[in-house]
Structure 1
Amino acid sequence: MSKVYVIHENSEWTIHLTKRLEELGVPFEEWHLDEGLLDLSTEPPEGIFYSRMSASSHTRGHRYAPEYASQVLAWLEAHGRKVHNGTRALDLEVSKVKQYLELNKHGVRTPKTVAAVGKNQILEAAVAFQGRPFITKHNRAGKGLGVQLFQSVEALRTYVEGPAFEEPVDGVTLIQEYIYSPESYITRCEFVGGEFVYAVRVDTSEGFELCPADACQIGDVFCPVGEEAEEKPKFQITEGFNDPIIEKYKRVLEANNISVAGIEFIRNEQGDIFTYDINTNTNYNADAEAIAGKYGMLELAKFLGEELLQNEKKVRVMLLA
């Protein structure tokens, strides 16, 4: 019997999907690709393959999981298996430079960004921002890795030459213009099967840690004295979100064979949209979804189940031909 094969390196981020697959009675198998063996003389099993490989795997001790997953995905694709979020998606997942180039190709505006390798080059790149605030981030990131806000080159120099500097896993640091949001929030647009599911508003007033996964959260509202504050939750699904940017995002996903993604943007004081991240290993916030009655992992499980049925029909037709 064919199955849905879920490729990943982090069980905490995957359990919410597998629970939904179980609820729907969709047969599945997990492939945890932190390490393994790949015999190129063998053929993959029949079924649907969905990759949730993450750019931040090295922060969990899985340094080479994306590299190994890339080889496995290439093997699957070479044998004609149906792969959702395959080699091209992973290629973008681990490189913000490639994300920005692809977004720009489809008319999506991104913040001014300079990629630098080497501490002197990082400082040199910052000079180009001519006294304007800027941020640093890792090219291969996730979880807000390396994101720091600076007001001057000298402040950056203190960071880069000090003990707190975070060396990117691929050696590439991005220096990027800081887009000021008057209301201190970003918007994340979720897509399943290439179709828009919902937009979630994320409060950034407390920093740049934007991962919505339950495993990443210590609570939407944190008070150091242990009392619950009267504040809005960090994640809120926006009802009726409708903006022309959605159609542009859909074209980007289609052009790169990406079925599932969360794309993040920020609006400046003039209301202009700047897109800065394509997350092909997207997660969802349970509290925000419960309030809105919309469930990303459920939609994803339904999509994978339908894809499995379509694939089985296709295989039967081929066998009868």
Structure 2
Amino acid sequence: MTDLAVLYEHPAWFKPLFAALDRHGVEYIALHPHGAWDPSTPTPPAPVVLNRIAMSSFLRADEHPIFHTMALLDHWRRGGVRVVNGADVLAIDASKARQLSLIAGLGLAIPETRVVHRAADVPAAAEQVGFPLVVKANIGGSGAGITRFDNMAELRWAVAERQLPTSVDGVLLVQDYVPVRGGAITRIETLDRRFLYAIEVAGGGAFDLCPADACVEGSGIAMQAVQPAPELIEAAEAIARAVDLDVGGVEVMVDDRDGVARFYDINALSNFVAKPMDVLGWDPHDRLVDYLVARIEEARA
């Protein structure tokens, strides 16, 4: 049995990771979450499993692996596997409502939000939030399932005509549309619950701000490395600890109306940044591989 298995779904996002593993001489197997597994028999593929299943996988296949993977990772954990970004992390990644509750519970600012499971409840939630607002799918990815509404007439029409976003779990967020200072958000990446690096990402008003190589080509997304204020780094690390996040990003935007930094997304699928040597001057995949090697050594002990 090899020491490491990488469970992934996107055909292109993880080429830099596989290249880094090869560069460091780490033996691994790359697995897709297809096929059947027996819940009565522990059948771990490796002592350490790195979970790289994306929330946006539902955009690429109706028969997406999100919920299947949650159960599978928990099954492997029960069999003694060290899962990096395991089932509990995936469950938080798969719920923007849970993310916002966790962030607010840490005393950090979030966009004004209401959570509903019926389209009929959206207008009343909107009255509480105010316009402009966005309606978001609870399970999104790559900006999917986000629509802006500027007034109640637009929103009521969308409800009546069944034109609201939909989420694969049936949950929607009605959220204040925050005017972002400078037109850019900050994505703070963490590894082992500590600050790794941060980038400022601007997309010309788009909701899809995926920074990976397979996302940015031809997208108009602009990125640059930044050093966030110490309090933002401390907040991101607190979020990572609360989620028990092995590797992942926390996204924050500064509200142009009042200057408040509002945290709004936890992303357990760190593709890292496209062209890292150009943007950062170093490759964060090397740090991730070092982390994985340490987990492998622990599993061997």
Are residue 250 (structure 1) and residue 257 (structure 2) matched? no
Deviations 1:152-195 (A, max 9, x none): 11122233444754322111111101111231110000011222
Q: Residue 212 of structure 2 aligns to which amino acid in structure 1?
A: A
Contact in 2 for aligned 1:194/1:253 (Cα 8 Å):
yes
Shift of 1:124: 2.1
| Matched residue, 2:154 | 155
Q: Residue 232 of structure 2 aligns to which amino acid in structure 1?
A: I
Are residue 282 (structure 1) and residue 270 (structure 2) matched? yes
Are residue 266 (structure 1) and residue 253 (structure 2) matched? yes
Q: Residue 47 of structure 1 aligns to which amino acid in structure 2?
A: P
Shift of 1:220: 5.2
Shift of 1:7: 1.4
% identical aligned pairs: 27
CA 1:43–1:252 in 2, change beyond 3 Å: closer, same or farther? same
Separation of aligned partners in 1, 2:55 and 2:19? 24
Separation of aligned partners in 2, 1:105 and 1:166? 27
Q: Point out 4+ residue stretches in structure 1 off by more than 6 angstroms.
A: none
Deviations 1:208-254 (A, max 9, x none): 11111222234254xxxxxxxxxxx611111x334212223222322
| Matched residue, 1:308 | 296
| Matched residue, 2:112 | 112
TM-score by length of structure 1 reads: 0.86
Q: Residue 291 of structure 1 aligns to which amino acid in structure 2?
A: V
Contact in 1 for aligned 2:137/2:173 (Cα 8 Å):
yes
Separation of aligned partners in 2, 1:283 and 1:214? 8
Q: Residue 151 of structure 1 aligns to which amino acid in structure 2?
A: D
Shift of 1:206: 3.6
RMSD between aligned alpha carbons?
2.0
Among 264, 282, 288, the residue aligned to 1:294: 282
Are residue 69 (structure 1) and residue 59 (structure 2) matched? no
Shift of 1:26: 0.7
Q: Residue 178 of structure 1 aligns to which amino acid in structure 2?
A: Y
Task: In structure 2, list runs of 5 or more residues that go unmatched.
Answer: none
Worse-superposed segment, 18-27 or 204-213: 204-213
Q: 2:129 is paired with a residue of what secondary structure?
A: coil
CA 1:288–1:31 in 2, change beyond 3 Å: closer, same or farther? closer
Whose radius of gyration is greater, 1 or 2? 1
Separation of aligned partners in 2, 1:97 and 1:280? 15
Q: Residue 112 of structure 2 aligns to which amino acid in structure 1?
A: K
Separation of aligned partners in 2, 1:156 and 1:112? 17
Q: Residue 157 of structure 2 aligns to which amino acid in structure 1?
A: T
Deviations 1:270-291 (A, max 9, x none): 3211000000012223235423
Contact in 2 for aligned 1:189/1:264 (Cα 8 Å):
yes
Separation of aligned partners in 2, 1:220 and 1:166? 22
Shift of 1:46: 4.5
Separation of aligned partners in 2, 1:182 and 1:39? 49
CA 1:16–1:106 in 2, change beyond 3 Å: closer, same or farther? same
| Matched residue, 2:200 | 201
Q: Residue 152 of structure 2 aligns to which amino acid in structure 1?
A: V
Separation of aligned partners in 2, 1:291 and 1:217? 13
CA 1:200–1:25 in 2, change beyond 3 Å: closer, same or farther? same
TM-score by length of structure 2 reads: 0.92
| Matched residue, 2:11 | 11
Q: 1:77 is paired with a residue of what secondary structure?
A: helix
In the alignment of these two chains, the number of paired residues is 300
Separation of aligned partners in 2, 1:147 and 1:299? 33
Worse-superposed segment, 303-312 or 284-293: 284-293
Task: In structure 1, list runs of 5 or more residues that go unmatched.
Answer: 222-232, 315-321
